Amino acid sequence: MPETKTDYGEFFEKNGYLPGVTVLEGEDLAALRRNFDDLESKIGKENAQYSLHNAHMQHQFAMQAAAHPTVVAVLRDILGPNVFLLDSRFICKYPVSQISGTKPDVEPYVAWHQDVRYWGVDGGPVVSVWLAIDDADAENGAVYFIPGSHKDGLQEHGSAQKEGNMLTSNQEIPTELVDESSKVLCPLKAGQMSLHHGLTVHASEPNRSSRRRCGFVLRYVPTCAYPSDDPDRPRTFPATVLVSGENKEGFFQDKAPAFFQKTA
């Protein structure tokens, strides 16, 4: 972990991730958890696992967290002053016993993968943020990173053979291509966030605790980035929000919801 804020960019560039930055405390953290708990109770745990995509466009509390000044300040250190939020997703990994319809012998996990494979963005780095709503540790399935793997380019992905992979496309980097001896666990306290490069190889193991592991996953790019030209897999970006600076290039549209007031 870098010793000071000024080392964030250097640490991120070298390792491809940044662990354990405290960004929400006190009422800010309490409000995020309270509002998510209310949402979870309305839609049920089955739907809260992975289906809450782009909640920042419908829920003011989610947009406030995604554009919180302390979150944006760290992103500016890494991406520069002009930053777009691409999308967001709440991800909850529950103990198997708490999810109805789950096979008792199948434990939800996330296979080794690189995020940028799915994003369809060129022209600039993509940074993924995991903002912890609950404490995340080895017992309940915190994220593992392979330091420096972002420098190796896009790696081969195939279909996971083991049941329970939470990735909707069931993708994984074959385990024989991953140096698991170098993996680093990234535990987080509620209110902390980790950041990782879109090419950083990462994964998480099953939640074998009695506790929920919930995080708000957010994707950001500098405004110089642009959608990939891939006719075989066209992408749309319906939830892009300018959270810092100016959109001089205009590659993405600012689709901020009416309730959002940018502060950076």
pLDDT of residue 264: 67
- Asked whether residue 254 is domain-assigned, the answer is no
C-beta of residue 107 within 8 angstroms of C-beta of residue 163: no
User: Cβ atoms within 10 A of the Cβ of 107, count?
Assistant: 18
Q: Write out the H or E segment, with its range, that includes residue 69.
A: helix 69-79
Q: Please, which pLDDT band fits residue 103 given cuts at 50, 70 and 90?
A: low
What's the number of domains the chain is made of? 1
**Domain, as residue range, for 150:** 5-244
- Asked whether residue 32 is domain-assigned, the answer is yes
Tell me phi and psi for residue 42, to 5 degrees.
-80, -40
- Asked whether residue 121 is domain-assigned, the answer is yes
**Whole-number Cα distances in Å, 52 to 55, 240, 248:** 6, 16, 31
- The CA distance from 248 to 181, in Å, is 43
Q: Please, which pLDDT band fits residue 4 given cuts at 50, 70 and 90?
A: low
**Residue 154 in this model has a pLDDT that exceeds 90:** no
- The CA distance from 18 to 13, in Å, is 9
Task: Locate 264 and state its tokens.
Answer: 């950076």
Whichever domain contains 228, its CATH number is 2.60.120.620
Classify residue 29 by its DSSP letter.
H
User: What predicted TM-score, i.e. pTM, was given to this entire model?
Assistant: 0.92
- The CA distance from 37 to 48, in Å, is 10
The pLDDT of 72-93, averaged and rounded, is: 96
- Asked whether residue 60 is domain-assigned, the answer is yes
SS3 56: helix
- Asked whether residue 46 is domain-assigned, the answer is yes
For residue 194, what are the β-bridge partners? 130
SS3 118: helix
C-beta of residue 133 within 8 angstroms of C-beta of residue 192: no
- Asked whether residue 256 is domain-assigned, the answer is no
SS3 100: coil
- Asked whether residue 204 is domain-assigned, the answer is yes
For residue 92, what are the β-bridge partners? 214
Which of 44-53, 90-99, 158-167, 174-183 tops mean pLDDT? 174-183
Q: Please, which pLDDT band fits residue 187 given cuts at 50, 70 and 90?
A: very high
pLDDT of residue 209: 93
SS3 129: strand
- Asked whether residue 186 is domain-assigned, the answer is yes
Where b means 16+ CB within 10 Å and e means fewer, 86-106 reads bbbbbbbbbbbeebeebeeee
Amino acid 125 reads P
Chain-centroid distance of CA 117 in Å reads: 14
The pLDDT of 207-221, averaged and rounded, is: 95
